[in-house]
């Protein structure tokens, strides 16, 4: 029984590597995305390649990796809410590893003056308002007239 399971495991491994010989091969683009001003890593930044729509997002350390690429020229596009979009053209060769450090610049926008209006109600006033709203005045009037 032990020989059968050893042979079946061996056969499974051989067939797996025979069927998928190029798995994991190809060029790699990897790197980190940071805030240009304070140097903090940006978590969840989106990175994609225009030419083949491959992409990734940064992890908690600001790290990303895009694997299995063919030789060629790629436009790396990085976007993150509150930052200016970033583009960089990268030329890679087969099985090459390209490391990038991307510093995103915060974006700012001007707006008109914002005015907020509101009324303040104390919790006790709010509670009494709810009580009066739920009262049935016809029932109170008929009950009072019966006495």
Domains of the chain: 24-104 (2.60.40.1120)
Q: Which of 59-63, 126-130, 138-142 has the lowest mean pLDDT?
A: 138-142
What is the C-alpha to C-alpha distance for residues 121 and 127, in angstroms, rounded to an integer? Answer: 10
* Residue, of 96 and 145, whose pLDDT is higher: 96
* Long-range residue pairs from 71-76, CB within 8 A, at least 24 positions apart, any chain: 71/27, 71/96, 74/29, 74/49, 74/50, 75/49, 75/50, 75/51, 76/29, 76/47, 76/48, 76/49, 76/100, 76/102
pLDDT higher than 60, residue 10: no
What CA–CA distance (Å, rounded) separates 97 from 66?
Answer: 10
pLDDT at 53: 85
pLDDT for res 6: 55
pLDDT digits (tens, 9 = 90+) for 18-71: 444 444 578 999 999 999 999 999 999 999 999 988 899 999 999 999 999 999
Confidence of residue 112 (pLDDT cuts 50, 70, 90): confident
| Helices (H), ranges, the chain | 2-19, 123-134, 137-146
Looking at residue 14, what is its pLDDT? 42
- Which pLDDT score, from 0 to 100, does residue 22 have? 47
CA distances from 23 to 20, 26, 27, 68, 70 (A): 6, 9, 12, 8, 13
105 compared with 125, residue with greater pLDDT: 105
């Amino acid at each position: 029984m032990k020989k059968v399971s050893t042979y079946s495991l061996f056969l499974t491994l051989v067939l797996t590597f025979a069927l998928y010989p190029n798995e994991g091969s190809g060029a790699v683009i990897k790197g980190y995305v940071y805030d240009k001003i304070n140097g903090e890593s940006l978590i969840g930044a989106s990175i994609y390649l225009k030419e083949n729509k491959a992409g990734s997002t940064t992890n908690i350390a600001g790290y990303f990796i895009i694997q299995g690429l063919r030789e060629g020229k790629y436009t790396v596009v990085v976007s993150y809410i509150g930052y200016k979009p970033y583009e960089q053209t990268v030329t890679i060769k087969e099985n090459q590893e390209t490391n990038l450090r991307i510093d995103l610049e915060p974006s700012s926008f001007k707006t008109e003056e914002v005015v907020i209006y509101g009324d303040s109600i104390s919790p006790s006033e709010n509670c009494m308002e709810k009580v009066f709203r739920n009262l049935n005045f016809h029932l109170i009037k008929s009950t009072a007239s019966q006495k």
